[in-house]
Structure 1
Amino acid sequence: MDTTTKPVTPDVWNTAELDLDAYLARVGQRREAPSAAALAALHEAHVRTIPFENIDPLLGRSPSLDLADITAKLVHRRRGGYCYEHNLLFAAVLERLGYDVNRQAARVQPDHPGPNTHMNLRVRVDGDDYLADVGFGASIMRPMPLYDGSELDQAGWPHRLTAEERGWRLHRLKDGEWNAEYAFDEAPQHPVDYEVFNHYVATHPRSPFTGRLVVMRLSDRVCRKLIGEHLVAEYADGTEEKSTVAPADLGATLRSLDLDLDPADLELVRERYTGQK
């Protein structure tokens, strides 16, 4: 028996199903060797290009977490999605490019607490660890160095990481105070874990994504959100603009948020939009 041969690790995440060239074209990036700078550029390009949105759960559909389906939706159909879709896609991209990636879970609003259903990533490159998260609504533009006290400006909003006894906590500075966004540890998750989380988030009546439309876009010093019927622009200086979007204006508003639905889905969303919570 040849004991020098290493066992083949099965590709449980099906990363071979990713159309990497199409993804890179979608976000306007080139293949580059793994580095902290390349990771930051790719992360930012993803957030700037692919919307955060909950169209499928709003319409009573559970988003598929099969990588081929995510690629078809977010890359080829140029749609968006929520955390599992974004971060499963991004994790596969990073692994195909040669990064060391750990898929994790986080508890949103840990001081309340919220559910432990968010997906984030730990990425190791150049000997350092980073928190990467392209699927947290419109919050994190660039990966954060993973060490206690790490601070990084995220498109105008300072964020901080603090170490806890059993993991980490991500904070956002607002009105002069650090508010906890989510808490997480580095326990690796399995595909079935996200299937369970996804079922709850996509179907439970208390989920924030089943009762009203949510679309979010982050750019420099402005975060634009369509929450229910309200279009909100939050600026890094603390000012805010808010307006009500009429059903007839929904298509144009979604396009302004980089989300161009096919006519059938737009009509379904418009019907659901008038009765949302």
Structure 2
Amino acid sequence: MANFFFDLTQNNPNLFFLIAGPCVIEDLDTSMSIAKHLKQVTDGLGIPFVFKASYDKANRTSIQSFRGPGPEHGLGILKQIKTELNIPVISDIHLPDQVEKAADVLDVLQIPAFLCRQTDLILAACRTGKPVNIKKGQFLAPTDCRHIFEKAKSTGNRNIAITERGACFGYNNLVVDFRSIYILKELGIPVIFDATHSVQLPGGAGSASAGERQFVAPLARAAVACGAHGLFMETHPDPDKALCDGPNSIPLDQMKNLLTHLVNIRKAAGPSL
């Protein structure tokens, strides 16, 4: 069976694919402008692109935190972006009963890191036959992901990718062990590196997560050199005013230079194996 994620770069193994967009859908205009900019940049660099934005962030730190427009309005926005720009879209699902409605719009379903061991959710997502990106929980060793993959492939769906996003390192901190990329690749499935959530400081701002966006670029460079098949990044025109995960989001106007540099690193390092 063909794998959506591998197929993204089948014509150019010297490249990686990109999943990028804002953390959460704030409104149509902001989301559409981000998607248009990223499409223009990735088209120019030849990078396969999937637009991401969450319609509901169900795992916010505080009850006061912005969650997004919700499934009905949010999926409508993603459908409009997908149709007008002719790009695939991905978003999080949190409950099995959300899967059917989300699968009608999304090209890729995503399992959040905190839910990566939720068997019923994984099975429901994979039974749609849609590609599924599973975020590796920050509480898991990469070797533990074989159990996640076994759950997924029990449905007959092998359109699965695993995303590395760092591991808990004491309180309010994450650290990335790049051995994880090699260990995960031994499962024979595409490995994505989440360069922005890996610099998150969970709960580090008290009622919200903090982040250290200055480390996104060096971690992304390392992941590309290590052979990650794809990169995941959150970006916003003004991260300091973003309604979610601004501290670890890349300013939108910096994405072109960063991606250009990453393309050059991948070409120098050679194709992903």
TM-score, normalised with respect to structure 1:
0.30
Q: Higher strand proportion, which one?
A: 1
Q: Higher helix proportion, which one?
A: 2
TM-score, normalised with respect to structure 2:
0.31
